[in-house]
Amino acid sequence: MAKLPLEGVRIVALPVVFAGPFATMLLADLGAEVILVESIHHFPTITRGYMPRPPQFLVPTTGATFGGSGGIQTYVNHWAGDRPWDRFVMFHALGRNKLSCCIDITRPQGVEVFKRLVKVSDVFFESNAADTMEKLNLTYDVLKKVNPGLIYLSMPGLGCSGPHKYCTVFGAQLQALAGHTWLTRYPDLDYTTTQSLIFHSDAAAGAIAAFAVLCALRYRKRTGKGQFIDLAQLESVIPHLGEAIMDYTMNGRVQEPLGNRHPSMAPHGVYRCLGDDKWVALSVSSEEEWQKLCHALGDPPWSKEERFSTPLNRLKNQDELDKYIEEWTCRHDNYEVMYILQREGIAAGPVLDQRDAFHDAQLASRGFFEQVSHREAGTHLYPGMLWKMGKTPISIRKPPPCLGEHNDYVFKEVLGMSDGEIAELEKDKLIGGDEYICESIF
Amino acid sequence: MVEQALSDVKVLDLTWHIAGPYCTKLLADYGADVIKVERPGKGDPARAMGPFFKDEPNPEKSGLFLHLNTNKKGVTLNLNSATGKKIFKQLVADSDILVESFSPHVMSGLGLDYQTLEKINPRLVMVSISSFGQTGPYRDFKASEIVEYAMGGEMYSTGSAGREPLKLGGNVIQYQSGTVAAVATLGAFYAAEFQEIGQHVDVSIMETQAGSADRRIMYILSYIMAGVITTRWPPPREAVRMLIMPQGVYPCKDGFVNTLSLPQWWSRYIEALGMPELKDDPRFQNIYSAEAGMEFDAIWYSWLADHTKEELFEIFLKSKIASAPVNSPQDLLKNAQLEARGYFVEVDHPETGKVTYPGAPFKMSETSWQIRQPAPLLGQHNEEIYCGRLGYTKQELVKLREGGII
């Protein structure tokens, strides 16, 4: 069998929260050996939990909990267990195919171990705040002396230079800064009453960071040269609103949010269906599709009215149009609406909640979910690959790593340390897994 | 010419609309030589989509098309004709990567599926981007931005409790899936260039969304591992407060700011507000108190009302509180940080003159992102590619044009 595309590429990663772990997941899926350097002295917020040992009342049992939508704070089977950091679902979602070792990079002897690892790696990847690597004295200038061919990627929210370099931001703030919040709103509500806890910047910046590493790897393979990649998450998500930016720079127009509507298509939106909180999304892009929609609905009398006779009229009279369409969708299951309309060639599909997505026929038929057995979490199906490759098939090869699970591999096989050397470092807790956990922190 | 990361990578681009063109734009902007193949006459449907320069509908003046097709060379070709297919195969023989975003049956219907093209060029990386993938029961279904977000993405939990699920603004799902497709493309190309393995890559936009962070992949796994259904949440004023400090979007003097709080940040808020007396205020001794949160709101709202979003940003920057203004596109164009980093670029185009475009999504120290040329006019590079590269004569080119092939 062919090797995976990135087999033989070693990436040392200090990724936190979501964008960085998502990027390194894509690279690990392609076959790179991604080694997370973690800590038994420091607990990075959110990455492996909100707190090291959450009291049971903060382990949510429903979707609606502290701080917003509950799916973000879930532990496997609502039980944090003895090692909560190995049972936190967010970590499981993005941890596959990666390895974990623990090194205390805040102390000089730990830094020496870390540098030995960087020396035998191709890429160093970090997604911390802009001052983190500076405080640790592990900037590009320092690490390139250790490994001149190193590719070093940093992805702070606002970049590695400029007056706002040290700005503290999470996805919500990036979303606001980049103009995404501006355009995501119910037209009849304002920004304080439109709640959105989905932050596109994590998905966008994570994917482009993986692309950036691939660009640098290709250049390095051809020239032997490493380099520094300065990825401002803000700058990576602005192109996703290119039309709105161009409308402003070409026409001086500040686009306003349209909710679920579209500048030229009508009907275009989300409609209530039979059942509790069930919805279908649909859009009609041409006169031909409009005729097909009318046909699918049984050519009701209202569809012949003058106010719906042209695309412009439909656009103008959307409120009434949407009411008529919803009267029809309300009587059907959302999947049923999809099948009825798709048969006619109209873009329509259910708004899938997480249960529906897990049971969806398309994802199932393509084998999207893969079975994974994990030491602390048991056996489950996990969401799998984002694309399929014909000759180098990618898959979940390894479960998400437990904290420090690959210490032996990294210290013995990768770094060639002796048992004595390891014991010495473990004694001072400079390396070591959660058997050496720092009780005052964890 | 300056060496770029993807210099000498030859890409044949059969994509249209947004997802595919954004994928090939990323390749082109970092140095790949991209030939965009369009149908004669109308070209990419994105040419007919706004916004248009000075609001004048014109296939050479679509802001969407101009943004998505920088650095590409443009040819026209009728793939339904035998001659068109022959020319296309000649282009395939000379390419490293082919990206297409037709409905799944189109390439095989044209007799241009991977099995055929692989024989012409065994090292070819062919990437097919489609709404639902090349196989499966929804293979031939139609989709759009809103349908893809509904089915693939996390629309179900986007928006406010009690309201309908809400689409993210613009066409961001197209852009993000195009970015994922670019990762898949370069991954496969790495194997082609260094291991000599060509292959077909099947990108389903639904899967790119179901597998992506924020937050679909996490929420699906939360359901699988703990049965949690994550739904839409009330906005700050209606939600149950768990901290004194605010979280979410709040009004200020001239707009809105989005603020996030961590339990350890109470002292930062006191500092930001310039109200040291709050430290000893008996009302605010338990930061996990919902009632104290209501008390604090009164102070918070009136303080915000006295400050502009720019003033607030500076204050929060100093106090290290995660808070940012809700920027409009106009605000972005005068943003000090983006200006200092030289983010926006001016691109000169024959039909529009100089216009400002979004710039590099990341900066590389050795190999630059750059605009070498604006988006192509329809068929602009026919002569350069067909005569210069494939060796057709000018007379043959005239005949091809008359025959409707190009």
Residues of A in contact with B335 (CB under 8 A): 177
What's the CATH fold of domain B248-326? Answer: formyl-coa transferase, domain 3 (3.30.1540)
Please list the residue range(s) of chain B that carry CATH number 3.30.1540.10: 248-326
Successive 10-residue mean pLDDT values, chain B, 406 residues? 90 98 98 98 96 97 98 98 97 98 97 98 98 98 98 96 96 98 98 96 98 93 92 84 88 96 90 94 90 92 96 95 96 97 98 98 97 98 97 96 93
Query: Sorting pLDDT into bands at 50, 70 and 90, what band is A56?
Result: confident
Residue of B nearest to A2 (CA): B197
Q: Is there a contact between B52 and B61 (Cβ–Cβ < 8 Å)? A: yes
Residues of A in contact with B268 (CB under 8 A): none
Q: With the CA atoms of A159, A162, A164 and A167 taken in that order, what torsion angle do they form, in degrees rounded to the nearest 10?
A: 40
Mention every residue, 6+ apart, whose C-beta is less than 8 A from residue B300.
B246, B250, B273
Label the pairing between strands A68-69 and A64-65.
antiparallel
Q: Is there a contact between A220 and B190 (Cβ–Cβ < 8 Å)? A: no
- The pLDDT tens digits for A355-390 are 999 999 999 999 999 999 999 999 999 999 999 999
Q: Is there a contact between B103 and A336 (Cβ–Cβ < 8 Å)? A: no
Domains of chain A by residue range:
10-231+365-436, 268-353
Mean pLDDT within A12-25: 93
Q: What is the DSSP string of B318-361?
A: HHT--EEE---HHHHHT-HHHHHTT--EEEEETTTEEEEE---S
Residue of A nearest to B216 (CA): A354
Phi and psi at A63, nearest 5°, equal -75, -20
Query: Sorting pLDDT into bands at 50, 70 and 90, what band is A58?
Result: confident
In this complex, the residue of A90, A283, A368 whose CB is nearest that of residue B146 is A283
Q: Is there a contact between A199 and A171 (Cβ–Cβ < 8 Å)? A: yes
What confidence score (pLDDT) does residue A67 get?
Answer: 44
Residues of A in contact with B158 (CB under 8 A): 184, 196-198
What confidence score (pLDDT) does residue A61 get?
Answer: 63
Distance CA B215, CA B209 (A): 9
Please list the residue range(s) of chain B that carry CATH number 3.40.50.10540: 10-214+340-402
What is the average pLDDT score of chain A?
A: 94
Between the ranges A64-68, A163-167, A434-438, where is the mean pLDDT highest? A163-167
- Of residues B191 and A442, which shows the higher confidence score? B191
Residues of A in contact with B234 (CB under 8 A): 195
Helices (H), A184-281: 200-223, 233-237, 242-251
Superfamily grouping for domain A10-231+365-436: Crotonobetainyl-coa:carnitine coa-transferase; domain 1 (3.40.50.10540)
Distance CA A221, CA A243 (A): 36
In this complex, the residue of A67, A89, A215 whose CB is nearest that of residue B6 is A215
Tokens at B204, concatenated: 């389903």
Mean pLDDT within A162-183: 95
What confidence score (pLDDT) does residue A71 get?
Answer: 67
What confidence score (pLDDT) does residue A60 get?
Answer: 66
Architecture of domain A268-353: 2-Layer Sandwich (3.30)
Query: Sorting pLDDT into bands at 50, 70 and 90, what band is A336?
Result: very high
In this complex, the residue of B146, B341, B364 whose CB is nearest that of residue A216 is B364
- Model pTM? 0.97
Residue of A nearest to B193 (CA): A218
C-alpha triplet B150, B155, B156: angle, nearest 5°: 100
Query: Which residue in B350, B187, B130, B219 sits closest to A68, CA to CA?
Result: B219
Interface probe for A, chosen from B2, B69, B146 (most Cβ of A below 10 Å), is B146
Tokens at B405, concatenated: 């092939």
Distance CA B123, CA B101 (A): 20
Question: Which of these CATH numbers, 2.30.40.10, 3.30.70.80, 3.40.50.10540, 1.10.10.10, describes B10-214+340-402?
Answer: 3.40.50.10540
> CB-side exposure of B1: number of CA atoms within 13 Å?
13
Provide the ipTM: 0.97
In this complex, the residue of B136, B161, B223 whose CB is nearest that of residue A358 is B223
Q: Is there a contact between B315 and B307 (Cβ–Cβ < 8 Å)? A: yes
